[in-house]
Amino acid sequence: MTAHPHIRRRETEPRAPVHAPAKPPFPLAMVYSRAVRRVARSVIERSVSKPRRPRRAGLTAACTVILSLAILPPDARASPFAIPAVASPPSTSPPAVDPPAADPPAADPPAQDAPDLPTTTTTSPTSSAAEVEALERRLAAVEARLAEVEGEADTLAERPAAPETPAPLRAPGTLDGQAPPNYADGFHFGSYGRVMVAGDGRGRPGRNTDIVAHGSRLDESTYAELELRREDAWESVGAYTRIVATMAMAAPVFHYDANFDAKIAIRNLYLEETGLGLKGLSVWAGSRMYRGDDIYVLDWWPLDNLNTLGGGAAYRFKTGTFVKIHSGINQPQSDFYVQTVTRSPPLEMPGAIPVNILDRQKITNSLKLGHVINVGETGGVKVIAYGETHHMRAGQREVDDNAFEDLPSEFGYVAGGELSLFTGKRSTHLNAWVRYAGGLAAYGDFARPTQPAPDNSTKGARELVVALGGNYEVGPFALMLGSYFRSFRNASPALDYDDIDEGIILLRPQVWIKDIFGLALEGSYQVQQRGALWNPPGEDDLRPLVGTVGKIGVVPFLAIAGRGSYSRPHLRFIYTATMRNDAARAMYATDDVMSLRNVDHFIGFGAEWWFGSTSYFRD
């Protein structure tokens, strides 16, 4: 391959290989802190298993690497023209993010991942006194930790040599799947994927049994994203370029239904420039999954999850504040947006040609303001204010031959916020969201509004979401949390089946044994009320339709990448039992087995992975 004359290849390793289990996205400070431990541990291990090697030399080398890792941001390390010496803001990346993409509930737009905009990790060469102080504090912390490590190494070295033990089951060279990306010149590949092999124990396929829009993901079906990425550093302008193309595919796959076809979608196709003209600034254009923090166990992005053709910009201040703007368009397949009819061709030519009577696009604008406050060495608080506006022009639709109806212009908005608390250690975090959407925006990103207002518009539609998600890890244990309440009313003033109040609380405790084997238990309880009445069996009176579903799951898994709620890949067995009440059964169509069963089983095994994908790492 011939390098482009304007592209200068990086001369250093894009990133020091870390022989460590994949971990969830952390603030950089966390990553560096962990890297200290990992490298130190590797030093210790080497010193134990190979005592003849000069320990001090090894430690010295390790210290060099550690300091490099701890102090220099990845880009600074990677790029010869990056400005060294100043640490990046420690917590510019969301603490508890990065859930793998997943198939969303059918009512929602296909889930996809859009990472937060990459953050420039270099800073100005002229550092403030505060920055210098912060750097000194961090250096002191690193040195203290190094002293600990050295002490441990000494202790170990003084012990009798241990017999050779098998190497840990970690793939050498495996990169942290959610680590900040290095703008390493060249092509890169990343992926999220899950493959599910499951049945219901009664001969039927395993099926998602949630009644709420965002329920347990244990019984989700097969889905994968394959990302091809090109990254280049442009010395002439001091910027980095990333071109991302992500292809996603969903079940069924050929080996299941013997249909030589696939459900494929292009989920990302965009170009992003970072550091162009202004450090801290990034701009992008293209088709992009664009979203923030999620609740992994619910496979859901409660605040922002946009999928548009568009562009945006982000700027991160040195103070920990960041701002992101975006504008995009889409036109979901629906007669709300497009109506195609046939008309006679021009100039009395024979035949018929299609004509779009209605052909309108939705314009979505978003603005996100955030600020990260560091707490202690690794922890912090992140506060986000978020808003969207949705616009669409008026149109006309043919209701009969040469009879038209007017569709008024549309407007929608979103206002919301997030409060995120994170320790910076082992992905422990607690996130809370509040989000209110009105008008067109209440119907979601890929809105195909139904049940309109009397004037055929979405005026009056509204959605309120209050959500809580988190993860806590200590020792070999972890506890993941996902919960929310959601109230949706469509634009039709009357209550109907599409008007929904719903909520779920889900807990997933996990334990790891020897860092290779894990066991997760999951329990959830979900409630959904529809704007409909029904006759409970044996009752004469009409009652509100309030379905409840309780689910318990047992998931033993092989944690190839080690322990951690967000470490992947996993090979796993899944069993879930779903218990639904009569009202929940009534939500299924006649003769659907779920309308007949009080209890459903899901028995399966499969795999889940993510690595190297912009969808999942944070920067």
The torsion region of residue 426 among left (phi > 0), alpha (psi -120 to 50) and beta comes to: left
Structure tokens at 426: 């082992």
Residues 384, 425: Cα–Cα separation, whole Å: 21
Could you give the 3-state DSSP secondary structure of residue 423? coil
What minimum distance in Å lies between the beta carbon of 520 and another protein? 25
Q: Kindly tell me which of 324 and 486 has the beta carbon lying closer to another protein.
A: 486
Q: Kindly tell me which of 374 and 529 has the beta carbon lying closer to another protein.
A: 529
Structure tokens at 588: 């299924």
Task: Choose which of 260, 494, 537, 538 interacts with another protein (CB under 8 A).
Answer: 494
What minimum distance in Å lies between the beta carbon of 291 and another protein? 24
Name the one range near another protein by CB under 8 A: 100-108, 257-265, 372-380, 397-405. 397-405
Residues 273, 311: Cα–Cα separation, whole Å: 11
What minimum distance in Å lies between the beta carbon of 404 and another protein? 11
User: 343: how many CB neighbours lie within 10 A of its CB?
Assistant: 11
Q: Kindly tell me which of 19 and 462 has the beta carbon lying closer to another protein.
A: 462
What minimum distance in Å lies between the beta carbon of 403 and another protein? 6
Strands 186-199 and 223-234: antiparallel
Name the one range near another protein by CB under 8 A: 12-20, 257-265, 422-430, 521-529. 521-529
Structure tokens at 239: 């910027």
| 100 is a site residue for another protein (CB under 8 A) | no
Q: Which amino acid is at 68?
A: S
| 341 is a site residue for another protein (CB under 8 A) | no
What minimum distance in Å lies between the beta carbon of 450 and another protein? 7
Binding residue count for another protein, defined by CB under 8 A: 42
- Cβ contact 91:119 at 8 Å: no
What minimum distance in Å lies between the beta carbon of 585 and another protein? 13
| 540 is a site residue for another protein (CB under 8 A) | yes
The torsion region of residue 36 among left (phi > 0), alpha (psi -120 to 50) and beta comes to: alpha
Name the one range near another protein by CB under 8 A: 79-87, 294-302, 343-351, 536-544. 536-544
Q: Kindly tell me which of 45 and 498 has the beta carbon lying closer to another protein.
A: 498
Name the one range near another protein by CB under 8 A: 220-228, 373-381, 399-407, 415-423. 399-407
Name the one range near another protein by CB under 8 A: 229-237, 280-288, 495-503, 564-572. 495-503
Strands 353-359 and 362-375: unpaired
Q: Between residue 52 and residue 71, which ones bind another protein under the rule CB under 8 A?
A: none
Helical (H) or strand (E) element with 278: none
- Cβ contact 521:555 at 8 Å: yes
Output DSSP code: residue 189.
Answer: E
| 400 is a site residue for another protein (CB under 8 A) | yes
Where does residue 2 rank: exposed (0-12), middle (13-18), buried (19+ CB within 10 A)?
A: exposed
CA separation, residue 545 to residues 149, 213, 503 (Å): 60, 16, 14
Q: Which amino acid is at 377?
A: E
Helical (H) or strand (E) element with 530: strand 517-534
Q: Kindly tell me which of 285 and 532 has the beta carbon lying closer to another protein.
A: 532
Residues 619, 617: Cα–Cα separation, whole Å: 7
- Cβ contact 560:171 at 8 Å: yes
Range 85-117 burial, b when 16+ CB lie within 10 A, else e:
ebbbbbbbbbbbbbbbbbbbbeebbbbbbbbbb
| 529 is a site residue for another protein (CB under 8 A) | yes
What minimum distance in Å lies between the beta carbon of 453 and another protein? 7
| 491 is a site residue for another protein (CB under 8 A) | yes
Q: Kindly tell me which of 484 and 617 has the beta carbon lying closer to another protein.
A: 484
- Cβ contact 163:195 at 8 Å: no
The DSSP result for 355-388, as a single string, is: EEEEE--EEEEEEEEEEEEEETTTEEEEEEEEEE
What minimum distance in Å lies between the beta carbon of 493 and another protein? 7
What minimum distance in Å lies between the beta carbon of 261 and another protein? 27
Residues 350, 371: Cα–Cα separation, whole Å: 63
Q: Kindly tell me which of 234 and 534 has the beta carbon lying closer to another protein.
A: 534
Longest dimension (CA), the chain: 97
Residues 208, 600: Cα–Cα separation, whole Å: 10
Strands 305-316 and 462-474: unpaired
Residues 33, 36: Cα–Cα separation, whole Å: 5
Name the one range near another protein by CB under 8 A: 254-262, 335-343, 437-445, 489-497. 489-497
What minimum distance in Å lies between the beta carbon of 540 and another protein? 7
Q: Which amino acid is at 203?
A: G
| 532 is a site residue for another protein (CB under 8 A) | yes
Q: Between residue 434 and residue 473, which ones bind another protein under the rule CB under 8 A?
A: 450-456, 464, 466
| 548 is a site residue for another protein (CB under 8 A) | yes
Residues 295, 481: Cα–Cα separation, whole Å: 8
Q: Kindly tell me which of 106 and 403 has the beta carbon lying closer to another protein.
A: 403
Tell me how long the chain is. Answer: 619
Task: Choose which of 243, 421, 546, 554 interacts with another protein (CB under 8 A).
Answer: 546
| 503 is a site residue for another protein (CB under 8 A) | yes
| 578 is a site residue for another protein (CB under 8 A) | no
Q: Between residue 153 and residue 172, which ones bind another protein under the rule CB under 8 A?
A: none
Task: Choose which of 62, 527, 549, 561 interacts with another protein (CB under 8 A).
Answer: 527
Task: Choose which of 110, 531, 562, 569 interacts with another protein (CB under 8 A).
Answer: 531
| 361 is a site residue for another protein (CB under 8 A) | no
Task: Choose which of 499, 600, 608, 619 interacts with another protein (CB under 8 A).
Answer: 499
Q: Kindly tell me which of 348 and 400 has the beta carbon lying closer to another protein.
A: 400
Tokens 């800073």 identify what position?
A: 123
Tokens 């923030």 identify what position?
A: 292
Structure tokens at 441: 């925006």
- Cβ contact 498:457 at 8 Å: no
User: 563: how many CB neighbours lie within 10 A of its CB?
Assistant: 23
What minimum distance in Å lies between the beta carbon of 236 and another protein? 55
Q: Kindly tell me which of 147 and 542 has the beta carbon lying closer to another protein.
A: 542
Name the one range near another protein by CB under 8 A: 148-156, 180-188, 262-270, 533-541. 533-541
What minimum distance in Å lies between the beta carbon of 449 and another protein? 10
What minimum distance in Å lies between the beta carbon of 502 and another protein? 8
Q: Which residues lie near another protein (CB under 8 A)?
A: 399-400, 403, 450-456, 464, 466, 485, 487, 489-496, 498-499, 501-503, 525, 527, 529, 531-533, 535, 540-544, 546, 548, 581
